[in-house]
Amino acid sequence: MNPFNKIFRGDRTIWVIFLFLALVSIIEVYSASSMLTFQTDDYWRPISRHVLFLFIGTIVVLATHVIPPKYFSVIGICLVATWGLVLAAHYWGGRTNDASRWLTLAGLKFQPSEVAKLCLIVYMAFILSKKKSDDDDENTFWWILIAGIITCGVIFIDNGSTAILLFLIVLLMMFIGQISWKRLLSLLAVMLILMFGALAILKNTPDDILRRSPLRRSVTWKHRIFDHQNKLSVTDATFEINDKNFQESHGYIAIANGGVFGRFPGNSTERDVLPQAYSDFIYAIIIEEMGLIIGGLGVLFLYTILFIRSGIIAKRSEKNFSKYLVIGCSLMLVSQALANMAVAVGLIPVTGQPMPLMSRGGTSTLITCVYFGIILSVSRDNLAQEREIEAELEAEKAREMVPEIVPEADVVANS
């Protein structure tokens, strides 16, 4: 076995996708971080930080993908602890745009919600893997639902879009885990009623009352949802860029500037205008510089192949825990990427969801690398199992080909 095969084990397609996303990320974050460069007066600081996190993340992938999948169940045990960390971030963490999402422990600043998402995915995979028959359906449903509601609830306080996205993944995981249709439909009906009720309250409550409520972000949610619903088309004669539609409008301009073939990396104009060009609107900058075909469709293609390949890995796995683990990790990565793309092209309101591995980030980049490592670990375990089966088949064939040796005493007696 050559050194490359010893280091990069597991599914080669997943490794290629990971390396391509990291490479595009370095190029585009370097280009999109011009505003940070102006703020810090350090030309290399924004990109050097991003490259450092990608380098550490690659080490995380390498370390994670050699761990047997069964040991990842330990991560699920930490779920309860993450609830406390998320609440601690809310009350004592660093605040940005009326949201307290970051916590500093031992000098390290991180987002507890990212860790909570990972723990919930592992927890759900473990609970679903223990479902042996339809008799376990009710217990499995409630164990997952209670953990999902608590996790999404504490995250919702400061990050509504993440909580909603995570709960959708909870529903998908239960659907894939063959939880009863009746229970899932009943849950979905209740959630829709609650959602429409919450929207009605949000719409008819004055902003000054919302600002005094425990949910400090409710005013931001209100304007993002209803302004997006009532927004004018950019082709309308009365359309104008203002504070409410500033990000979306310049995102559209970036996409329009890119056209089919793009302006080439480094030639974006909107990177100097968009406040989150290196994070929330990285997809718009990618299209502006690389074009609709190579940038827009190319990145979408990579995440699509990631999801398809993860499904193949899950199907090949003989262990239920590994199967659900891969499904959960891939759902998280791909749904987050699609949410980021949908915001950039104006399909949904601004959510603040980063594009996994592509957007500039610290905690999100490292946790994304853990997801990749888990998927590669399961694929490596599958390959090991397939080799064992092949070895057993070859040994059986070899035994069948060896002629039966008749003892000499029997030969003499027969003669």
| Cα torsion 196, 197, 200, 202: sign | negative
Q: Which residues contact 51 (CB under 8 A, 6 or more apart)?
A: 26
pLDDT band at 2 (very low <50, low <70, confident <90, very high): low
| Cα torsion 245, 345, 288, 372: sign | positive
State residue 234's pLDDT score.
60
Copy the structure tokens of residue 16: 């290629």
Taking only the tens place, the pLDDT of each residue in 3-43 is 667 778 888 999 999 999 999 999 988 888 877 776 666 67
Taking only the tens place, the pLDDT of each residue in 191-202 is 999 999 988 988
State residue 384's pLDDT score.
80
Q: Tell me the helices (H) and strands (E) count for the chain, helix number first.
A: 18, 3
Q: Which residues contact 78 (CB under 8 A, 6 or more apart)?
A: 115, 119
State residue 298's pLDDT score.
94
State residue 412's pLDDT score.
53
State residue 301's pLDDT score.
96
Copy the structure tokens of residue 97: 């745009």
pLDDT band at 89 (very low <50, low <70, confident <90, very high): confident
Taking only the tens place, the pLDDT of each residue in 97-107 is 556 677 877 67
pLDDT band at 238 (very low <50, low <70, confident <90, very high): low
Lowest mean pLDDT: which of 189-198, 240-249, 365-374? 240-249
Q: Let me know: does 309 contact 13? Beta carbons within 8 Å.
A: yes
Q: What is the DSSP letter of 205?
A: S
> Is the pLDDT reported for residue 386 higher than 90?
no
